A and B are shown apart, each in its own frame.
Chain A
């Protein structure tokens, strides 16, 4: 039973480029959460999605950032026109449709903006 998968693990982008981060939740999980973490800091909630729906995007910047979780395929966090301040680790977590609220985290994508 594979865990939460994220790719790429490391991503380097130049300022102004687009970054596309992918997350495949655990099998059977329909809830996906994206977090951002700066070095030596805590987890900052960005967005919570269920299949084809954004449930809560209160932590996501209004501009340049978007997220989706299509019916088929992984969840995507998209950052357009990246700036140096976007450099961080981005973690995806998933949880099952019912039962415990426990979140299972992927290994993260380390984004570096040059």
Chain B
């Protein structure tokens, strides 16, 4: 079945270091979404990418959507302790673009 895979599963960094998480889909996606879940919290939408090769920035966060629309990445520059949490990518299920297929997430820990 359709799958979305994320790596790494966990990442520990020192505050100020960069961080990247990668997302790969088994199928071509019409769009990809990124969410952040803080410890003890609920997922919060960060961004949606739609176009092939699209790059979007939100302050220190850079999101990319691959040319083939099957992979994506989230890069955080100079991490801060407020970046701690789990980052999920998700893409629409084939044939049903309302249901999302989710990656398992990358948990980021930042040492001050």
Contacts and interface: CB of A to CB of B under 8 A. Distances in A.
B85 interface: no
B42 A108 contact: yes
Contacts of A102: 33, 45, 48
A3 to B, nearest CB: 10
A105 interface: yes
B20 interface: no
B42 A105 contact: yes
A45 B96 CA distance: 14
Contacts of B96: 48, 55-56
Interface residues of A, number: 22
Interface string A62-105: 00000000000000000000000000000101010000111111
B102 A95 contact: no
Nearest to A95: B98
A42 B100 contact: no
10 nearest CB pairs, A to B: A42-B104, A105-B42, A102-B45, A105-B43, A42-B105, A48-B99, A43-B102, A108-B42, A56-B99, A107-B42
28 contacts: A33-B100, A40-B107, A42-B104, A43-B88, A45-B99, A45-B101, A45-B102, A48-B99, A55-B96, A55-B98, A55-B99, A56-B96, A56-B99, A91-B43, A93-B43, A95-B98, A100-B48, A101-B33, A101-B92, A101-B98, A102-B33, A103-B33, A103-B43, A103-B100, A104-B45, A105-B42, A107-B41, A107-B42
